[in-house]
Amino acid sequence: MSTISLAEVTHSYGAKQVLQRLSLDIDGSQLTCLLGGSGSGKTTILRLIAGLETPQGGLITILNKVATNKNHLIIPPHQRKLGFIFQDLALWPHFTVYKNIAFGLTEQKQKNIKETVHQMLDYFGLQAYSEKYPHQLSGGQQQLVALSRALVLKPKILLMDEPLANLDVKLKRKTLGLIKKLQQNFDLTILFVTHDHKEAFAIADKIVILNEGVIELTGSVEQIKNSDNEYLKYFIEF
Amino acid sequence: MRKSECLWYSIVYVLFVLLIVFPVFYTLSSTLLPDTGSSSLLENLQLINKDSFFLLAKSSAIAFVIAVLTTLLGAVSGFLLFKTNVSFQGFFKIALLVPLFISPYILAVTWNDFFYLCLGNTDSLASYVGVILVLTSIYTPLSMAIIGNAFSNINAQLEEAGEIVADYRKVIFKITLPLVKPALLTSLALVFIFSISEFSVPAFFGIKVFTTEIFIQFSAFYNHSLAILQSTLLILLCLLLLLSEKAYLANAPFLSIHGRGIKTKIYHFYRWKGLSVSLLCFWFLLSVLLPFVALFIQSFQDGTAKFIQAFNLLKATFINSIGLAFAGALITIVVGFSAAYAAETKKRKSLIWLLLFVFAIPSTIFGISLIKFYNRAFLDAVYSSYVIILLGYAGKFSFISAKLIGNAIKQIPKSLDEAAQIQGIVPFRRIKMILFPLIMPTVFTAFIINFIFCFGELGTTIMVYPPGTEIIPIKVFTMMANAPQALISSMSLIVFFITLLIITVIYSLSKHYQNVNH
């Protein structure tokens, strides 16, 4: 069974059809890149998997449990065992770094929460910033806080919506390496959305090319690179 | 600032300081630091006795209760209307705002009629509880608008990031509500100042509070020194509150509000949808429908005679009142825009602070300051004309337009102006062609709000109106003491309908303007 499975999923915003009977299987411990242009439906797929939106039709299964059936939300977002990195990171501005990371840890004892958060801070080298607010951090540090917040709950799946969009080239390269390392260390299934094919080629185990809500092509980096798909050629060229 | 901008700003600044701020400072300082021959500062200070402080404490307590209640109710209704999928949202958003657009003294009459019809007397209303009830119903829409607007401005992703790790209750209480803390505090501070400065409602119910006491000292006992000293206490209290709010918010990391174009997170209440609609219906019934039905019944209980009499009495005041309110609103927009533009784009904030200072002065005291200054032979042109009323409006309400327009300017990306700047467009053309069209909806809103405030203003107007002035609030208020209740109710009903008519006309014009521009 796949870790994430979308079957015949349809979604629209008003009159605009975004996904048309889309089916996709994502296997465990892989880093899958959703690659496509603006409006191709990449972010929508992430939001549907996270449960932030419900589709008009189709079935979404996560970790072998039905999460969404047609337009019924069966498992709420916080029970789907996943982490989400938003494009603008969405760090809570009124919380310190510590509180941003600790917010989701409710079912543990206070002492355990402290320990868990400090482990995360140590792992990402953020110990010195634990009492700082997000606006007092650099872009790279904010990125690390967002990753810590997503991983502190030990999710099985990590959804990343263009997480490198606002970083410079050097930091981008560094973060790509970090993501790959995190995938192995935390045994994660990562779904990574990007419109940059170079990012996808650098990091992905599997690439899914999207075009206007339809999957154009799926395969490993090598398969994609060697493909003579017209849309892919056009997309990479421009 | 370029030369042309600087000249414009300087003219507005100098006029505001000379015509409004200086008279206030002059009156306050001449009372607190009198010339030889009159009583000394020490003697004057001794006039403020224990009773004054006790009354101030009591008035503060009442204002605080009103501020807390309105903020709570405003937060709940704002949340339901701006953050959930509750039914009939559009209707409630407009209907629940109605009390805000009606002058407080008219609302007092409606509640009076409501209690009279339900209980046969108004004894229970003519008390501190009555003042709290009526003022809460008046200012809840203000809190709802402020907090609702803040709710709809939260970046949806911040709440969604919470939803990934916690259930919706925790997200609402730990993320959504803390993010609107600035709006909650603004609502608390503004309603506190409005309530403690409110004169007409306690006066209508015959309740002694700090503002009515100042009015009595000034008008009945001609004890101007005590009235102004008491006023100074109130000004200090209000300024202290506003400054603490500003200081607190300046250090708080709440800058989460997004710009335009990012959608708002809506909570889907399935099980609670019925309860939410019932709550809103109940508040609509209580704060809008029932009091106005009571007003209607009272007006027509003896046929149409009283209504016709009321119409004839008010007929002569319509043009004056509407004209003055229109001119007043226009002036507040000009002053408010100048102050907001300088503060937001040039970081020149001194005019905003002056507007805030005058805004914090209770209406009656502001009125006293104006007449004490302008009551001189060479200033008779101001003292005995409508100009003094317009100065009152400009002083009291320019801060509101500055605040609203300032927030709108903040949301316009700088790059839009910079793009025009690079192409060599002069500042006035940039303001006219780029900034102004983008903030036009807010300018219209500020105009409507200030028009309504000017139209119903009583606290300052009753102090400064020249003899023989025929405007609606003065006419209704001076008749309240002696005229039959049915006549007062009829007058209030007429004012209510005129206000609604004017709002509808201005609103339609603004919609038409927006459609043309799109």
Q: Does residue A221 have a pLDDT over 70?
A: yes
Domain end point (choices A149, A173, A195): A149
Q: Clarify whether residues A36 and A52 are in a common domain.
A: yes
Q: Does residue B258 have a pLDDT over 50?
A: no
Q: Does residue B68 have a pLDDT over 80?
A: yes
Q: Does residue B371 have a pLDDT over 60?
A: yes
Residue of A nearest to B155 (CA): A90
Percent of chain A having pLDDT more than 90?
A: 51
User: What is the pLDDT at residue B37?
Assistant: 52
Q: Does residue B509 have a pLDDT over 80?
A: no
Q: Clarify whether residues A95 and A77 are in a common domain.
A: no
| Residue B255 binned pLDDT confidence (cut-offs 50, 70, 90) | very low
- Between B168 and B2, residue with greater pLDDT: B168
Nearest C-alpha neighbor of B214 from the set B205, B223, B206: B223
Q: Clarify whether residues A145 and A128 are in a common domain.
A: yes
Closest-CA distance, B95 to chain A, in angstroms, reads 28
- Greatest C-alpha distance within chain A: 57
Q: Do B181 and A88 touch (CB under 8 A)?
A: no
Q: Do B160 and A94 touch (CB under 8 A)?
A: no
How many other β-carbons are positioned within 10 Å of the β-carbon of residue B27?
21
The mean pLDDT of chain A is 89
Helix axes B224-251, B210-219, angle to 10 degrees: 150
For residues A76 and A67, give the distance between their C-alpha atoms in angstroms, rounded to a whole number: 8
* Range from B41-45, B176-180, B439-443 that averages highest in pLDDT: B176-180
User: What is the pLDDT at residue B439?
Assistant: 85
Q: Clarify whether residues A138 and A43 are in a common domain.
A: no
Closest-CA distance, B177 to chain A, in angstroms, reads 11
For residues B388 and B499, give the distance between their C-alpha atoms in angstroms, rounded to a whole number: 23
Domain membership flag for residue B30: no
Residue of B nearest to A155 (CA): B165
pLDDT in tens, B340-363: 999 888 778 899 889 988 887 878
Residue of B nearest to A159 (CA): B164
Mutation target among B164, B176, B269 for the A interface, most CBs of A within 10 A: B164
Which among B161, B179, B256 has CB closest to A84?
A: B161
Q: Do A86 and B167 touch (CB under 8 A)?
A: no
For every residue of B13-68, DSSP letters joined together read HHHHIIIIIHHHHHHHHHHHSPPBTB--HHHHHHHS-HHHHHHHHHHHHHHHHHHH
Q: In 3-state terms, what secondary structure has residue A191? A: strand
For residue B348, the Cα-to-chain-centroid distance in whole angstroms is 24
Q: Does residue B92 have a pLDDT over 80?
A: yes
User: What is the pLDDT at residue A160?
Assistant: 94
Provide the number of structural domains found in chain A. 2
Nearest C-alpha neighbor of A71 from the set A90, A52, A83, A58: A58
Is A104 within 8 Å of chain B by CB? yes
Which among A51, A82, A93 has CB closest to B253?
A: A93
User: What is the pLDDT at residue B36?
Assistant: 52
Q: Clarify whether residues A161 and A73 are in a common domain.
A: yes
Closest-CA distance, A47 to chain B, in angstroms, reads 10
For residues B230 and B217, give the distance between their C-alpha atoms in angstroms, rounded to a whole number: 10
Between chain A and chain B, how many beta carbons pairs sit less than 8 Å apart?
A: 70
| Residue B257 binned pLDDT confidence (cut-offs 50, 70, 90) | very low
| Residue B365 binned pLDDT confidence (cut-offs 50, 70, 90) | confident
Domain membership flag for residue B44: no
- Between B373 and B414, residue with greater pLDDT: B373
Is B516 within 8 Å of chain A by CB? no
Is A235 within 8 Å of chain B by CB? no
Closest-CA distance, B250 to chain A, in angstroms, reads 13
- Greatest C-alpha distance within chain B: 74
Contacts of B179 in chain A (CB under 8 A): 92-94
- Between A19 and B198, residue with greater pLDDT: A19
Nearest C-alpha neighbor of B122 from the set B298, B299, B302: B298
Is B410 within 8 Å of chain A by CB? no
Report the pLDDT averaged over residues B115-127: 81
The phi and psi torsions of B458 (rounded to 5 degrees) equal: -125, -40
Domain membership flag for residue B33: no
Q: Do B164 and A94 touch (CB under 8 A)?
A: no
User: What is the pLDDT at residue B392?
Assistant: 94
Domain end point (choices A128, A149, A170): A149
Q: Clarify whether residues A136 and A108 are in a common domain.
A: yes
Q: Clarify whether residues A170 and A74 are in a common domain.
A: yes
Is A153 within 8 Å of chain B by CB? yes
Q: Does residue A107 have a pLDDT over 60?
A: yes
Closest-CA distance, B171 to chain A, in angstroms, reads 10
Domain membership flag for residue B307: yes
User: What is the pLDDT at residue B260?
Assistant: 40
Report the pLDDT averaged over residues A88-115: 84
Is A186 within 8 Å of chain B by CB? no
- Is residue B198 classed exposed, middle or buried when 0-12, 13-18 and 19+ CB atoms within 10 A define those classes? buried
| Residue B256 binned pLDDT confidence (cut-offs 50, 70, 90) | very low
Do β-strands A31-36 and A189-194 pair in parallel, antiparallel, or remain unpaired? parallel
Is A134 within 8 Å of chain B by CB? yes
Is A93 within 8 Å of chain B by CB? yes
Give the ranges where B302-413 is alpha helix by DSSP (H). Answer: 305-346, 350-359, 363-374, 380-383, 387-411
Q: What is the domain-level CATH number for residue A35? A: 3.40.50.300
Domain membership flag for residue A201: yes
Q: Clarify whether residues A133 and A19 are in a common domain.
A: no
A140-154, B11-25, B259-273: the lowest-pLDDT one: B259-273
Q: Does residue B518 have a pLDDT over 60?
A: no
Domain membership flag for residue B384: yes
Is B166 within 8 Å of chain A by CB? yes
Region for residue B32 given its phi and psi (left: phi exceeds 0; alpha: psi -120 to 50; beta: otherwise): alpha
- Between B63 and B302, residue with greater pLDDT: B63
Closest-CA distance, A81 to chain B, in angstroms, reads 9
Provide the number of structural domains found in chain B. 1
Q: Do B157 and A94 touch (CB under 8 A)?
A: no
Q: Does residue B300 have a pLDDT over 80?
A: yes
Q: What is the domain-level CATH number for residue B442? A: 1.10.3720.10
Residue of B nearest to A49 (CA): B164
Residue of A nearest to B177 (CA): A94
For residues B20 and B151, give the distance between their C-alpha atoms in angstroms, rounded to a whole number: 36
Closest-CA distance, A16 to chain B, in angstroms, reads 16
User: What is the pLDDT at residue B235?
Assistant: 81
Report the pLDDT averaged over residues A2-9: 92
Q: Do B160 and A135 touch (CB under 8 A)?
A: no
Residue of B nearest to A96 (CA): B253
The phi and psi torsions of A207 (rounded to 5 degrees) equal: -120, 135
Q: Does residue B35 have a pLDDT over 60?
A: no
Q: Range of A171's domain?
A: 4-81+155-237
Q: In 3-state terms, what secondary structure has residue A208? A: strand
User: What is the pLDDT at residue A238?
Assistant: 59
Closest-CA distance, A13 to chain B, in angstroms, reads 12
User: What is the pLDDT at residue A94?
Assistant: 83
Tokens coding B426: 């002069």
User: What is the pLDDT at residue B423?
Assistant: 67
Which among B164, B166, B255 has CB closest to A135?
A: B255
Q: Range of B509's domain?
A: 3-25+52-517
Do β-strands A157-161 and A82-85 pair in parallel, antiparallel, or remain unpaired? parallel
Domain membership flag for residue B37: no
SS (H, E, C) B221-284: CCCHHHHHHHHHHHHHHHHHHHHHHHHHHHHCCCCCECCCCCCCCCECCCCCHHHHHHHHHHHH
Domain membership flag for residue A109: yes
* Range from A38-42, A104-108, B14-18, B438-442 that averages highest in pLDDT: B14-18
Percent of chain B having pLDDT more than 70?
A: 90
Mutation target among A71, A92, A97 for the B interface, most CBs of B within 10 A: A92
Domain membership flag for residue A86: no
Q: Do A135 and B253 touch (CB under 8 A)?
A: yes
- CA A197, A199, A202, A207 torsion-angle sign: negative
For residues B454 and A151, give the distance between their C-alpha atoms in angstroms, rounded to a whole number: 56
Q: Do A52 and B163 touch (CB under 8 A)?
A: yes
User: What is the pLDDT at residue B288?
Assistant: 85
pLDDT in tens, B422-465: 666 777 878 888 888 888 878 888 888 899 889 888 888 888 88
Looking up tokens 């609107």, which residue turns up? B180
User: What is the pLDDT at residue B404?
Assistant: 82
Q: Do B253 and A77 touch (CB under 8 A)?
A: no
- Whether the Cβ atoms of residue B444 and residue B375 lie closer than 8 Å to each other: no
Is B161 within 8 Å of chain A by CB? yes
Contacts of A93 in chain B (CB under 8 A): 158, 179, 253-256
CA distances from B321 to B20, B193, B293, B493 (A): 21, 25, 25, 16
Report the pLDDT averaged over residues A70-87: 89
Q: Which residues contact B429 (CB under 8 A, 6 or more apart)?
A: B420
Q: In 3-state terms, what secondary structure has residue B437? A: helix
Q: Clarify whether residues A34 and A145 are in a common domain.
A: no
Helix axes B104-119, B128-152, angle to 10 degrees: 120
Mutation target among A87, A100, A103, A156 for the B interface, most CBs of B within 10 A: A103
Spell out the long-range contacts of B380-384 with Cβ–Cβ below 8 A and sequence spacing 24 or more.
B383/B466, B384/B466, B384/B467
Q: Which residues contact A82 (CB under 8 A, 6 or more apart)?
A: A49, A50, A62, A155, A156, A157, A158, A159, B164
A141-150, A178-187, A191-200, B39-48: the lowest-pLDDT one: B39-48
Closest-CA distance, B262 to chain A, in angstroms, reads 12
Residue of A nearest to B255 (CA): A93
Domain end point (choices A121, A149, A177): A149
Q: Which residues contact A112 (CB under 8 A, 6 or more apart)?
A: A105
The mean pLDDT of chain B is 83
